Amino acid sequence: MAKRKREREKPTKSKVRHVRRKEIEKIERIDKKKEVEIKREMEKKTRGIPIIYAVIIIIIIAIISAVLIFTIPERSFVEKGDTILVQYKGELEDGTIFDSGNFTFNAGMGEVISGFDEAVVGMAEGETKRIELTPDQAYGEHNPDLIMYVPLIQKFNITVNTTAEVFNLTFGEEPVIGKTYSVEGMNWDVKVVDIQNSNVTLRQEVEDGQMIYMDYGTSVVSVSGNEMTITLTPRIGEVVQTVFGNGRITSENGTHMSLDFNHELAGEKLIFTVTVLKVLST
């Protein structure tokens, strides 16, 4: 008997959907597996990067530190007794500059005014500082007792007496009657007119109307008998050297001039701009 071939059963829609879902799930599992593998591979590759960065940063810092150590010199600071070179500018309160320049001195040793001396101690080489000083830190208060009033008209005898000893010390030789002598700094010659034992009489060889030119003014000489009169026309502000020191002519009234032996900056508040250029020795 002939056998009947079985007819193939056609798949239903539900079966088809089931097969497709399984295939999709399989693909998704494969994709997830690949994703996990890729992530693991990336982690392996990037795991050492932060450490490398840290090492690089440490190396860079070490290099910079070494460069700074060897290229930046240590700054010197001024100590008491150090010899220093400074640049300075001195001003009054109204801004008038009274002095400026460079000079060398030993810090803290009393070689300059006290306020300036104290202010530079502790400054660094190359540092600039503004220093404000009161009069007591600078040249003191103005003292009226240090003002002297000197007559502009003075009278002297033309003949003067001295001793042989003083004559020898002044002119470097023995006096001889009738001989004329001169010495540096004198405005006219002198002649020996008499010698009595150890006493020597000199006559000043001055002329009537003679002019005497000095740094602090001009004098004119008038002669009458054995007397000469010297009249001075002073220059205000000039300095006169005296046995009491240097005095500055501050005024005159026709009969007298005032010589001020105070420092010209006495009583002033001073402002200095100071730069320590170099600490020369310690």
Query: For strand 217-224 and strand 227-234, is the pairing parallel, antiparallel, or unpaired?
Result: antiparallel
Provide the b/e sequence for 160-187 (b: ≥16 CB within 10 Å).
eebeeeebeeebeeebeeeeebeeeeee
pLDDT tens across the length of the chain (282 residues): 444 444 445 555 555 455 556 666 666 566 566 666 666 666 655 555 555 555 566 666 666 655 555 555 566 899 999 999 999 999 999 999 999 999 999 999 999 999 999 999 999 999 999 999 999 999 999 999 999 999 999 999 999 999 999 999 999 999 999 999 998 888 999 999 999 999 999 999 999 999 999 989 999 999 999 999 999 999 999 999 998 899 999 999 999 999 999 999 999 999 999 999 999 987
DSSP symbol at 187 = S
198: three-class secondary structure by DSSP: coil
| pLDDT score for 281 | 84
Show the tokens assigned to 242.
């005296």
> What is the C-alpha separation between 124 and 108, in angstroms, rounded?
15
Q: Which residues, at least 6 apart from 150, have a Cβ–Cβ distance to it below 8 Å?
A: 256, 257, 258, 259
Question: Tokens 């071939």 label which residue?
Answer: 5
DSSP conformation letters of 7-57:
PPPPPPHHHHHHHHHHHHHHHHHHHHHHHHHHHHHHHHHHTTHHHHHHHHH
Opening angle at CA 178, ends 177 and 181, nearest 5: 95
| pLDDT score for 76 | 87
| pLDDT score for 226 | 95
| pLDDT score for 66 | 55
- Closest to 158 measured CA to CA, from 239, 84, 95, 225: 225
DSSP symbol at 144 = G
| pLDDT score for 6 | 47
| pLDDT score for 73 | 55
Q: Which amino acid is at 95?
A: G
| pLDDT score for 184 | 83
CA distances in angstroms from 134 to 86, 204, 209, 267, 274, listed in the order given: 21, 51, 49, 8, 16
Q: Greatest CA span in the chain, whole angstroms?
A: 197
The H or E element containing residue 259 is: strand 256-260
Per-residue pLDDT tens over the stretch 196-208? 999 999 999 999 9
| pLDDT score for 140 | 96
